[in-house]
Amino acid sequence: MGRKVSLTEGPIIRNLVKLAMPIMGTSFIQMAYNLTDMIWIGKVGSKAVAAVGTAGFFTWLAMAFIMISKIGAEIKVAQSTGAKQLDDTKQYIRSAIQINILLAVIYMIGLLLLKKPLISFFNLGDAEIIQMSYTYLEIMAYVMVFYFINPVLTAIFNGSGDSKTPFIINTIGLIFNIIFDPLLILGFGPIPALGVLGAALATAGAQVVVTACFIAVMMKSQLSYLKVNLFKKPDMKSIKVLCKIGFPGAVQNGAFTIIAMVLGRLVAAYGPVSIAVQKVGSQIESISWMTAGGFSTALGTFVGQNYGAKQYHRIQKGYRTTLGLAISLGVITTLLLVFAGQPIFKFFLNENEAIHQGTDYLKILGYSQLFMCIEITTQGLFNGLGRTYIPSIVGIILTGARIPLAYLIATPQLLGINGVWWAITLSSVAKGIVLVAIYFYLQKRDQLYEHEEWNETSADVSNAS
C-alpha cells in the first residue's frame, strides 16, 4: 500500500512531515472511534455514556500491556532498518507479535473472570449503569487479541518508515465503525436499538476488520522481514531486548491508567453527569495529545533510524523541527479549549448541567495543552534513542501527584469537581517543564546518546539470528 520513507538522508522537515501526517491521521482515527461512540451513545443518555466510560478504563488499561511490544517493536524496527540489519528486523517483528498475542490472551481471561469486581471498584451505585458496563466490558474482552495486535502492527510499519499503510487500514476500520455505530446503537429498520451493546459490537467488528487488512497486506508484501513465522520457537534474546525498551513505557501507561481510575472513582462520587463529562471531555481534549502523539511517533522513528545509522546531527535538527510544530499545536489548542469550550462540548451532550461542567473541564485542561505537547514530543526523542525510562520515570512521579492533589482540592469546600481537572492540568505543566529540562541537561553534558546500548543489543540479536 504505502512506501517507506528514508529518514537517514534527504530534507529533514519534508521527511518528518511526510512520515508524521499519516501517523497523525491514524491517531485521529483512533480518536474518531471513541468520538463516534460518544456522539451516538450520548443520544441514549448520560448513563449510557457513563457505562461505556467506566468499562472503557479497562480497555485503556490494556494499553499498558500492549506498550511492551508496541514501543519495543517501533524502536528496534526503526533502529535495525536504519542500520540495514534486516534479519534483526524480522526477529524483532516476530518476537513482538508473539509477546503481544500471549499477553492478549492472559488479559482477556482476566477481564472475563474479574469483570464484576473490576466494575465495582468505581462504586457507581446505579444498577442500570453497572449492568451496561458489564455488557460493554465482556464484548470487548472477546476481541482483545485484535485490540492488542493492531497497535503493534501499526508500530511495525511506522518503525520501518511506512506510515501510510497503517493509516489506510485504520481508516477502513473507522469507516466500518461509523456505519455500524448508529445502526446498532439506535437501530434502523429491522435492526433493533442495542444501545451500549451496539457500541461494543461496532467497535469490536472494526478491530477485527483492521487485523484482517494488516494480515492481507503483510502476506502480499515484497518485504522479506514482514514474512514471519509465528510458530517458530520464541527467541529469548530479542524478547529481552523488546521488553527492556518497552517495559518502562508500559509501566508508565499502566500507572497513568490506574491513576485515572482512582480519579475516576473520585469523579463518580459527584454522579453520572460528572462521569460523562470526564469521558466526553477527555475525548475532545485528546485531539491535541493524539496529534502531538503523531509528531512524537514520527520523531521516535526518525531518531531511531538516524541513531542506528549514527547520523546524530540529524537527530538534533529533527527534534527542534518537531518541537516547533508541537508548540504551535499547543497554542492553537489552548485557544480553542479556553475560548470555545461551550459550543464544542454542546455538540456531544445537550444536558444543561453536563454542558456547564464540560465547559469548565475544557477551559481548565486548555491551560495545560502547550506543556503537554512539549512533553509528548520530547518523549518521542527519548524513545527513539531507546532511553524510554527517562520519560517513564518523570511521567509516573508527576502523574501520580494528581491523586493527593485532587483529594486535597477537589472538595465541596474548595474547588469541587473542578479540583480534579486542576490536578490534571498542573501535573501536565510540570511534566512538560521537567522533561525538557532533562533533555537540555543531558545535551549540555554530552550524555544524550548511549551508543554502547545499541551496539550491545544489536550484537545479541545478530548472534541469535
Q: What is the pLDDT of residue 432?
A: 93
Residue 199 covered by a domain? yes
pLDDT for 457 equals 45
Task: Tell me the pTM.
Answer: 0.70
Q: Report residues of the chain scoring pLDDT below 50.
A: 451-465
pLDDT in tens, 360-417: 889 899 999 999 999 999 998 898 887 888 898 998 899 899 999 998 998 877 888 8
The structural domain count of the chain equals 1
Among residues 24, 23, 5, the alpha carbon closest in space to that of 15 is found at 5
Question: Is residue 396 in a domain?
Answer: yes
pLDDT of residue 427: 93
Q: Which domain holds residue 77?
A: 12-464
Residue 1 included in any domain: no
CA 161 to centroid of chain Cα atoms: 19
pLDDT at 106: 94
* Phi and psi, residue 191, nearest 5°: -80, 120
**Spatial distance between the Cα atoms of 103 and 449, rounded to a whole number of angstroms:** 32
3-state secondary structure of 129: helix
Closest CA to 319 of 187, 446, 440: 440
* Main-chain dihedrals φ then ψ at residue 188, nearest 5 degrees: -160, 120
C-alpha cell at 172: 477502513
The C-alpha atoms of residue 451 and residue 436 are separated, in whole angstroms, by 21
User: Which pLDDT does position 172 carry in this prediction?
Assistant: 92
The verdict on residue 5 lying in a domain is no
Residue 6 lies in a domain: no
Residue 3 lies in a domain: no
Torsion of CA 299, 365, 394, 416, to 10 degrees: -160
Q: Give the contacts of 64 (CB within 8 A, at least 6 positions apart).
A: 250, 251, 253, 254, 255, 257
Quickly list DSSP for 26-93.
HHHHHHHHHHHHHHHHTTT-HHHHHHHHHHHHHHHHHHHHHHHHHHHHHHHHHHHHHTT-HHHHHHHH
Quick: pLDDT tens for 419-450: 989 999 999 999 999 999 998 888 877 767 65
Is 180 domain-assigned?
Answer: yes
Rounded Cα gap, residues 226 and 238, in angstroms: 16
Q: Is residue 419 part of a domain?
A: yes
The answer to whether residues 51 and 199 touch, using CB atoms and an 8 Å cutoff, is: no
